[in-house]
Amino acid sequence: MTARLDAKFAALAQQGRAGLVTFLTAGDPDPGTTLELLTGLPAAGADVIELGMPFSDPMADGPAIQWSSLRALKAGQTLAKTLDLVRAFRAGDDTTPLVLMGYYNPIYVYGVARFLADAKAAGVDGLIVVDLPPEEDDELCLPALDAGIAFIRLATPTTDDQRLPKVLANTAGFVYYVSITGVTGTATPDFDKVGAAVARLKRHTRLPVAVGFGVKTAAHAGAVARGADAVVVGSALVETVRTSLDAEGLATDKTVPAVLGLVRELAAGVRGAVRAA
């Protein structure tokens, strides 16, 4: 749907490897640190960036991302400030795809038409909005597609073959396969089942398939990368942010190096994976 996402996944296919998709929450622990992390991610090995839109009730997320949202909100992060971060990132990087991920409520409050116009102008390539099912496509999905912003849908282990076509109907950019049942960051995927699930999705769509939820280490990332088009890591990164903070919850001189160091490890795991035939 968007040039940056299409170009990135085409380049990954040409290189014969999976991509690394990294998630951070905007404004965690403060906007300046987020921007420093964003600008460092591509060089550390991130192929696509997901930026979380903080929300007070992130029901699909486990404790690590819930806490990151609360830290960001406490620091004064808003949806408008999140778009400011995207603009600042785009000032120095016009090629790395950036996707906003979160919940519908902040977008609804902002105003859908205004949000899509501002997001497009800021340089947002896609949206993942976890609480809008296909039955609600008129709310945001179709307007986003009309605005030239990919609407990236989640598929889960419980999405059966009857439901899958509806889930995929207006999906663009890539399909995000949730590798576990439950919330983010709380379990480790069964990597054999992940491979089979990706193969099943590929029978229904030509879109790239990215796999996330539960990927914490370079070994995990490498295992997923053998069969998926991309590996998504979020909870492990925001937990690294948390453990680097001082007693008041503020960033330290360890925060940025710790997060980018983990990204480099994950990227090495992804790049070292032997792809399934």
Segment 134-170, tens digit of pLDDT: 999 999 999 999 999 999 999 988 888 888 999 999 9
Residue 61: active-site member:
yes
d(CA 79, CA 69): 12
3-state secondary structure of 77: coil
pLDDT interval class at 274 (50, 70, 90): confident
Angle, alpha carbons 58-212-249 (nearest 5°): 50
Query: 77 φ, ψ to 5°?
Result: -70, 140
> Is a pLDDT exceeding 70 seen at residue 182?
no
Annotated active-site residue 30? The verdict is no
Condensed to tens digits (0 to 9), the pLDDT of residues 228-259 reads 999 999 999 999 999 999 999 999 999 999 99
pTM: 0.94
Choice among 28, 30, 50, 125 that is catalytic: 50
- pLDDT of 188 reads 62
- Go through the domains of the chain in sequence order and give each one's CATH number: 3-271 (3.20.20.70)
- Greater confidence (100 vs 156) lies with 100
Distance CA 8, CA 126 (A): 13
pLDDT for 184 equals: 47
pLDDT at 185 over 50: no
Residue 208 φ/ψ region, left for φ over 0, alpha for ψ in the -120 to 50 degree band, beta for the rest: beta
Yes or no: say if 18 and 66 are a contact pair by the CB < 8 Å rule. Answer: no
Report the C-alpha gap between 63 and 109 in whole angstroms.
Answer: 25
